[in-house]
Amino acid sequence: MTAFPSPNFGERRGRVLPSLVVIHYTAMASCAEARARLCDPAVEVSAHWLISERGEAEALVPEAARAWHAGAGAWAGLEDINSHSVGIELANTGSQPFPEPQMAALERVLRAVMQRWQIASHRVIAHSDMAPARKGDPGARFDWRRLALAGLSVWPEGEGDAARPLAASLDAIGYPVADPAARLAAFRLRFRPWGQGPEAPEDRARADAVAHLMRAAAEKA
């Protein structure tokens, strides 16, 4: 682990403790370019962790501090996600697979973050989850099922009730109020990346399964 401290942080508002982890991709050509941006005081963006394609984990902001990674959005009734979360950036342009060394390093960093702050698996989310229509990272190539199998996220292995309204399921999962098409797109990026076109019964069935999974994880936490 290498530390490249970023000056772009402040106090968590209300002195809250982290209860979420938000996963991003950098959308930049190289890890070095992303690091420079995340540590540039003129840009005013940052994250707690940056993980390179080779699996090098760099601590940019102390986890107890409020990094500036999430921007406008909400999740499960929480706003000011920066104050409530730890942000992890993965060096990736957004159009390439996530290499094995990077995913393995993410698992190590994520597990330690979750243990330090007692963050449950259902509280690990995508940037696109909390900001539908505005953000698309970490995108359709990211392997959420792998994290779930390691106990670091959630993934449904079965399907639910296709008759349940999609909006009700997305509300229960935690998605913020947004344009229905944007919410569907965000849900698909995370849980059904092969889905295309208008809302389908398969979307409703999967969303219902995820809602039940989230509820069960919350009760267990």
Q: Is 159 a catalytic residue?
A: no
Which residue out of 11, 89, 107, 199 is catalytically annotated? 89
CA-wise closest residue to 52 among 83, 15, 26: 26
DSSP E strand boundaries for the chain: 2-3, 9-10, 20-25, 49-51, 57-59, 66-67, 85-90, 124-126
Tokens 């809602």 -> residue: 211
- Tell me how far apart the alpha carbons of residues 185 and 34 are, in angstroms, rounded to a whole number: 26
At a CB cut-off of 8 Å and minimum separation 6, what does 196 contact? Answer: none
Residue 139: which region, alpha, beta or left (left: phi > 0; alpha: psi -120 to 50)?
left
Q: Which residues does the annotation mark as catalytic?
A: 89
